[in-house]
């Protein structure tokens, strides 16, 4: 079992830290499930970056930046 590296809210974009409405994100295809947890993104750019390297963005040392 993996423990999340840092707490990420259900409506938080882990890449840039923006708050995103999960339903809107799902409707736009901007939600990704990783390790049984759903993450939502403000846009395709953030989603693709996360999918490339999820552990970078889940690392406690990662500081979300706009
Ligand atoms: Zn974002």
Query: How many whole angstroms from 61 Cα to the centroid of ligand 1?
Result: 17
- HSE-up of residue 11 (Cα within 13 Å, Cβ side): 6
Is a pLDDT exceeding 80 seen at residue 66?
no
Query: How many whole angstroms from 42 Cα to the centroid of ligand 1?
Result: 4
- HSE-up of residue 59 (Cα within 13 Å, Cβ side): 9
Query: How many whole angstroms from 16 Cα to the centroid of ligand 1?
Result: 4
At residue 41, the pLDDT reads 98
- pTM, two decimals, is 0.86
User: In total, how many domains does the chain have?
Assistant: 1
Asked if the structure places residue 16 within a domain, the reply is yes
Asked if the structure places residue 57 within a domain, the reply is yes
At residue 7, the pLDDT reads 85
Asked if the structure places residue 3 within a domain, the reply is no
At residue 9, the pLDDT reads 92
Is a pLDDT exceeding 60 seen at residue 4?
no
Domain that holds residue 56: 9-66
Query: How many whole angstroms from 12 Cα to the centroid of ligand 1?
Result: 9
Asked if the structure places residue 53 within a domain, the reply is yes
């Amino acid at each position: 079992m993996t423990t999340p590296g840092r707490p990420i809210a259900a409506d938080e974009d882990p890449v840039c830290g923006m708050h995103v409405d999960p339903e809107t994100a799902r409707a736009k295809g901007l939600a990704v499930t990783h390790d049984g947890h759903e993450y939502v993104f403000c846009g395709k750019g953030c989603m693709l970056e996360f999918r490339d390297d999820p552990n970078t963005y889940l690392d406690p040392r990662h500081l979300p930046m706009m």
